Amino acid sequence: MSQTKNFNLPDLGEGLPDATIVEWFVKEGDVIKLDEPLVSMETAKAVVEVPSPFSGTVLKLSGAAGDIITTGAVLASFALDPNLPQRADGQDTGHSHGHAAPAAAAAPTPPPLPTAAAPVAAEEAKPAAAERDDAGTVVGAMQSSNAVHAEQALAVGGVKAVPAVRATARKLGVDLSRVRATGADGAVTMADVKQAAADGSAKIGAAPAAVAAPAAAAPAPAQAAAPVQSDARTPLSAAGKPMRTQPPGVVAKGQPEPLKGVRRNMARVMADAHSKVVPTTLNDDADIHAWLPGNDVTARLVRSIVVAAQKVPAMNAWFDGEALTRTLHAQVDIGIAVDTDDGLFVPALRNADMLDARGIREGVNRLREQVEARSIAASELSGYTISLSNFGMFAGRYATPVVVPPCVAIVGAGRARHQMTPVMGGVEVHKVIPLSVTFDHRAATGGEAARFLRAMMDDLALAS
């Protein structure tokens, strides 16, 4: 006798409260087998492919692409098929499932037919089914068979791409089936998608537009021109007189939209940090006039933080404001702030105190590439002992960077500049790097922060 079961969204990361649906690989009424890809979800740290915990018919999908699902909420409902393999009830998969319901209770309600939204889901499911060949991150203990995925992809002429690539393609409006793949075994890479978006060679819907009837397309420009003309901004009225200004609320346009994924988590983390930390910031300039050609700015900044952390351990520490305890660290793991279109990532450069300049550069490059490809492991986005924000690569001189608990300090490096510097017998033009050190004054004193900053400046003043 068949049963109906709910599948609740599991915790896809370290205590993450929710996740965003990227795309469903099935639609309501489809039959899915155990461990086959069910849905792709975006969390604050990664795009994760979630497999099906059951074999049977999909009765209900809770949400569409772009919807935010709370951890623990029902993600999908299934009518179990007793003739297909099922996971043993006692087997732990890391998923949270709803209680089973007797088939009799569900009998009066047949599997729901497509509603008004179903055609959209069906269209989304077509490319989704074609892209099941990737071996992206899988939740819990469930693993999908690459052989089965490859067979399905070939059967429908699909495209190989990891979940992060598919998510990026969706955001950029790129049709993966039209992208020239350069990855291993014909897989579409992140670079392929970005290139296609840049040159417009694989826009979604571009082909249908080209075959549209010329007669219908001809009047479109004229019709579209009218509203554009009326909405054009101008400082003059129709009579040629200056326009009066209005409060922002009167002319504001656009619709509010919920923050998702990385930006949603960033908002929570920053608000939490603001409510818990007692921040104080010190600023000064590091004179790098003596630098020899070929010095790597980021590598030198990392090295100076290591030197300063070893001289002032109180700044390379964690602080627990509830228990009022402090943990000093022997190793220096530096969180490197990486800015992306999706929001802020802070991957950890582990054991920076053991790396030379080349090792630092290779480590930073690796972290940036993994962040851009959204392939970085969640474990690499936490556990650092101090942070670095090299915002000067864009603009800005000084800042008040935010200390995120449990860390005690963060270093901000501004844009390098030349300035007149007094020397014996006159003045010289020296190049300097502005530094900002924000620290939690509950855990470190002003003297400790000042000595830390001084140690950084002294190390950066060395020729190499």
φ/ψ of 160, rounded to 5, equals -85, 125
pLDDT in the model for residue 127: 42
pLDDT at 288: 96
Taking the chain (464 residues) in consecutive chunks of 10 residues, what is each chunk's mean pLDDT? 85 80 90 90 80 92 89 92 78 48 41 40 41 34 34 44 75 81 79 84 64 44 45 62 57 72 88 94 97 94 97 97 96 94 90 96 94 85 94 94 96 96 92 97 97 98 95
Class of residue 442 by CB neighbours under 10 A (exposed 0-12, middle 13-18, buried 19+) = middle
Report the pLDDT value the prediction gives residue 332, as an integer from 0 to 100.
97
What pLDDT score does 364 carry? 95
- In this predicted structure, what is the pLDDT of residue 238? 63
- Of the candidates 185, 167, 201, the one whose C-alpha atom is nearest the C-alpha of residue 42 is 167
Give the pTM: 0.62
Question: What pLDDT score was predicted for residue 12?
Answer: 80
- Amino acid 129: pLDDT: 39
> Domains along the chain?
3-80 (2.40.50.100), 278-461 (3.30.559.10)
Q: How many residues appear in the chain?
A: 464
